[in-house]
């Protein structure tokens, strides 16, 4: 008999991605955003959502022209902060791309892991202002359900009738990868048959910009916002906050094949670790990130040299990019110089809880189209960043396996591998 710590022996099911929905600073659909990314366009601009006069950082990767009316009834929108709007939109687009009509029986085995790093800060600010200025009777009855993180998944489950597991994973900037990785586990071990999984975030607001600025974590390159996020460059001076989200639709290979679905990729490996070191700084040598990548490679049944493309966490912070580079070199050894490493936050900014999800989408599309997005603004790589970061121009090439990294405050790390279906 297995112990409480052992998983009963059972065949693992193969898991594939058949749908992606995405909203980003580069566009409000998957393909619009992808085209802009491959062109090396930046979605980072001056902040328009509030007056930044008193703030040291005045730039962000805002979502532009998003219309929630396309996805949510008007009377329902006021019950949700913007991160839930993004969750509803991305989930609907993922289901539409997957082109699936779930039966009542299938809905019992369909869930949603849609994570959020922080949650509804804009609505918290708004309602706190009402409380201070006009008293508790002016607080909206929709305040609490509008800001709590699990409603990103909960509202999606309600709209689409998903009766399987539904909750929000919150692990700072690793949230998106952890959400997708855990959904992958649920399906391959038979705990669910279909999952919506990803991450969303909408915190371009005074408290977030002010809070991160107080930590001296953000770029202050306000005069040239499109050049502010510059992973691996010696002149990087901090990250740029972004917003948006991405949700994947995952199912078994057997299901997708039977219904003739367009299969975007197979999910083959997932690793999660903790640094147990510091609440903001990565561990020395990027040791926790190295172990997460190594765990994902082992889980996929691959060797390190099988990986060709990595979408790096690459936040454009002075310490983080160098330690991630060190982690890759320590794991991949001589093969590290053959890797194609993309720092796509150079174009979107850092989407916090949505970062791992949107960067998983980029990794999947890179596999699909056999083209790797660039790292823009990489003009003078710093001495501690000496790999091939696909500088400033997308690159065509053949590859079968790609890895996405996401690392977060508290020393939480996630790595996930996507593969071309053989």
Residues catalogued as catalytic: 173, 313, 350
User: Three-state SS string across the chain, please?
Assistant: CCCCCCCCCCCCCCEEEEEEEEEECCECCHHHHHHHHHCCCCCCEECCCCCCCCCCCCEEECCCCCCHHHCCCHHHHCCCCHHHHHHHHHHHHHHHHHCCCCCHHHHCCEEEEEEECCCCHHHHHHHHHHHHHHCHHHCCCCHHHHHCCCHHHHHHHHHHCCCCCEECCCECECHHHHHHHHHHHHHHCCCCCEEEEEEEECCCCHHHHHHHHHCCCECCCCCCHHHCCCCCECCCCCECEECEEEEEEEEEHHHHHHCCCCCCEEEEEEEEEECCCCCCCCCHHHHHHHHHHHHHHHHCCCCHHHCCEEECCCCCCCCHHHHHHHHHHHHHHHHHHHCEEECCHHHHCECHHHHHHHHHHHHHHHHHHCEECCECCCCCECCCCCCCCCECCCEECCCCEEEEEEEECCCEEEEEEEECCC
User: What are the angstrom distances between the C-alpha of 118 and each of 29, 165, 169, 397?
Assistant: 23, 21, 11, 37
Q: Which residues contact 281 (CB under 8 A, 6 or more apart)?
A: 319
Give the CA count within 13 Å in the CB-facing half-sphere of 133. Answer: 8
Q: How far apart are CA 250 and CA 95, in angstroms?
A: 10
Distance CA 136, CA 128 (A): 9
């Amino acid at each position: 008999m297995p112990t409480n710590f052992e998983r009963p022996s059972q065949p693992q099911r193969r898991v594939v991605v058949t749908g992606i929905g995405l909203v980003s600073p580069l566009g409000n659909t998957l393909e619009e955003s992808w085209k802009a990314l491959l062109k090396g366009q930046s979605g980072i601009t001056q902040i328009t959502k509030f007056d930044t006069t008193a703030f040291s950082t005045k730039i962000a990767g805002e979502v532009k022209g998003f219309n929630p009316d396309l996805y949510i009834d008007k009377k329902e929108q006021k019950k949700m902060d913007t991160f839930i709007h993004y969750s509803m939109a991305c989930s609907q687009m993922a289901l539409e791309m997957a082109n699936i009509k779930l039966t009542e029986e299938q809905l019992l085995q369909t869930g949603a892991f849609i994570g959020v790093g922080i949650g509804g800060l804009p609505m918290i600010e708004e309602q706190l202002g009402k409380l201070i200025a006009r008293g508790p009777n002016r607080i909206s009855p929709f305040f609490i359900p509008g800001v709590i993180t699990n409603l990103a998944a909960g509202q999606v489950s309600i709209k689409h009738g998903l009766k399987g597991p539904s909750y929000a994973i919150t692990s700072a900037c690793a949230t998106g990868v952890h959400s997708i990785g855990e959904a992958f586990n649920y399906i391959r071990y038979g705990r669910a048959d279909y999952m919506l999984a990803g991450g969303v975030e909408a915190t371009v607001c005074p408290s977030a910009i002010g809070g991160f600025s107080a930590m001296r974590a953000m770029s202050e390159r306000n005069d040239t916002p499109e050049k502010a996020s510059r992973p691996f460059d010696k002149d990087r001076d901090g990250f740029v906050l972004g917003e948006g989200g991405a949700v994947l639709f995952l199912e078994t290979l057997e299901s997708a094949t039977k219904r003739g679905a367009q299969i975007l990729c197979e999910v083959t490996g997932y690793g999660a670790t903790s640094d147990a070191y510091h609440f903001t700084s990565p561990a020395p040598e990027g040791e926790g990130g190295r172990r997460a990548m190594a765990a994902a490679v082992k889980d996929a049944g691959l060797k390190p040299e099988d990986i060709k493309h990595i979408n790096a966490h690459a936040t454009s912070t002075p310490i983080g990019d160098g330690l991630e580079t060190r982690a890759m070199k320590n794991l991949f050894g001589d093969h590290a110089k053959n890797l194609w490493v993309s720092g796509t936050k150079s174009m979107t900014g850092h989407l916090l809880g949505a970062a791992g999800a949107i960067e998983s989408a980029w990794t999947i599309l890179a596999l699909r189209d056999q083209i790797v997005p660039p790292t823009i603004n990489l003009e003078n790589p710093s001495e501690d960043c000496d790999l091939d970061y696909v500088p400033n121009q997308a690159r065509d090439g053949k590859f079968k396996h790609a890895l996405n990294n996401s690392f977060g405050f508290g020393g939480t790390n996630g790595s996930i591998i996507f593969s071309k279906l053989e």
